Amino acid sequence: SQKIEQNSEALNIQEGKTATLTCNYTNYSPAYLQWYRQDPGRGPVFLLLIRENEKEKRKERLKVTFDTTLKQSLFHITASQPADSATYLCALNKGGSQGNLIFGKGTKLSVKP
Amino acid sequence: DTAVSQTPKYLVTQMGNDKSIKCEQNLGHDTMYWYKQDSKKFLKIMFSYNNKELIINETVPNRFSPKSPDKAHLNLHINSLELGDSAVYFCASRSSGAFEQYFGPGTRLTVT
């Protein structure tokens, strides 16, 4: 069965630096991969989606890459700010018509001023 | 506000009780989900449902049952609650034309 690994449980960086989060999967290449942000006591919020035929996607200070050979996605936040501190979840589609997702455990990012 | 809403926000109950959590979305979406997030923060899908099809994750005990009175609502009913059911439960929805999911604020269930 498909497994997702987000390598770091926690990542601490200095404000202004680029945060890079990793998501690896073990089995089939998903048709698409998504990244979500979750703040304490709240539900996940969708950030970006990248399809299997796309190498890179950008949205403001966010960038996602997808390497189906390495079975890996990287999520970058450039010019990080303390407000970017949150847990970031990687999710893959499980297949089927209802768009069911499998989530990674998440990486808790802390951006220090 | 357009959103996914859940009630209650917190639910504390005793083992053996039966309880329900309600979910409503006013986004016009046609697929809804229930997820469980345990103490280790692992988010796992329990059910997905649209007006034609219910898909149940095989690991979900049959004490859990989704009930959908209409397209905008998917409630979660839990019978004979157990200590291990303590978790945060999230409702989510999705439009059939898109892949991203919109989550509710969560219901923290504590079984004592």
The CATH number of the domain holding residue B78 is 2.60.40.10
Q: Which residue of B has its CA nearest to A48?
A: B100
To the nearest whole Å, the CA of A37 is away from the closest chain B CA by 11
Contact A49 B100 (CB under 8 A): yes
List, for residues B29-74, the tens digit of each pLDDT value.
Answer: 999 999 999 988 889 999 999 877 888 787 899 999 999 888 899 9
Pick from A4, A32, A19, A15: nearest CA to A89: A4
List, for residues A26-43, the tens digit of each pLDDT value.
Answer: 887 788 899 999 999 999
**Residue B46's domain spans which residues?**
4-111
Q: Which residue of A has its CA nearest to B42?
A: A105
Looking up tokens 């046609």 gives: B30
Strand, coil or helix: A82: helix
Domain ranges of chain A: 4-112
Number of domains into which chain B is organized: 1
Fold of A4-112: Immunoglobulin-like (2.60.40)
* Cα gap B22→B85, rounded to integer Å: 17
Q: Are strands B107-111 and B54-56 parallel, antiparallel or unpaired?
A: unpaired
Pick from A19, A18, A2, A29: nearest CA to A88: A19
**Interchain CB contact of A30 with B (< 8 Å):** no
